[in-house]
Amino acid sequence: MQSFSEKNVCAAEEPQKSSEKKKSKKGEIDYAAIKDYWNEQHDKTNSAMRRLTLMTENRKEAIRGRLKDCKGDISKIYLAIDKAMASDYLNAGHSWASYDWVMTRKYFPKVLEGNYDNTKPATSQQPQSAAAKAQDPSATARPSIGELYEQAKRQQPASQQSQDSKFRWVIQQNLEDLKKNPNNKPAKDSLTRYYERGVLQRLGIDWKPEK
């Protein structure tokens, strides 16, 4: 057992571990609860991102890393999940969009900061780095809906960039994708989300999910 002085020495040498010590006193991280929350929100929002099957050691390590970045605030993990599930951009069928992507050190703070929120689309939403493209070469084989949208947005006057016009543009892209491939699941999931939120009805677009 460490003496009081020894504990002080450890604290001085490793101040970054103070939050981890506090956490261990309160209890270990409930990784299963985080996995279950992701899956529950996935089902509630009909997310295009995949459900979690296993909480692997790599995923646990990522959670510990993000908690360290957030000074042990576990609520930030759940907030990032909420924001990711609510983001139309992250649920537009991108092959790279996933739980693991959300929990990376590079993109986790961007999700928290609202870079992918529906009300504030940002050009930084597209991972353009060579490393990101190398991890998923198929993502660059064909422009994604988000990439096409950003290209079109730059060509549109400011008066046409209202939230509804942005929604309408993405919806039309999904409908076109369904015409080409009636079994396109990401397009169906995206349209279903808009239908459940009443966006399709408000815009006068006649489409209903299959029962």
Query: What is the model's pTM?
Result: 0.48
At position 206, the amino acid (one-letter code) is D
Distance between CA atoms of residues 205 and 189, nearest Å: 16
Q: Please report the pLDDT score of residue 172 as a whole number.
A: 84
**Token match 């930084």: residue?**
124
Per-residue model confidence as pLDDT tens for the chain (211 residues): 444 343 443 333 333 443 343 443 455 899 999 999 999 999 999 999 999 999 999 999 999 999 999 999 999 999 999 999 999 999 988 899 999 999 999 999 999 999 999 964 444 445 555 555 555 544 444 555 555 655 655 555 444 456 677 778 888 888 888 888 888 888 888 888 888 888 888 888 888 888 7
For residue 107, how many other CB atoms are within 10 A of its CB? 22
Q: Are 22 and 67 in contact (CB under 8 A)?
A: no
Q: How far is CA 27 from CA 22, 23, 30, 38, 183, in A?
A: 9, 6, 8, 21, 46
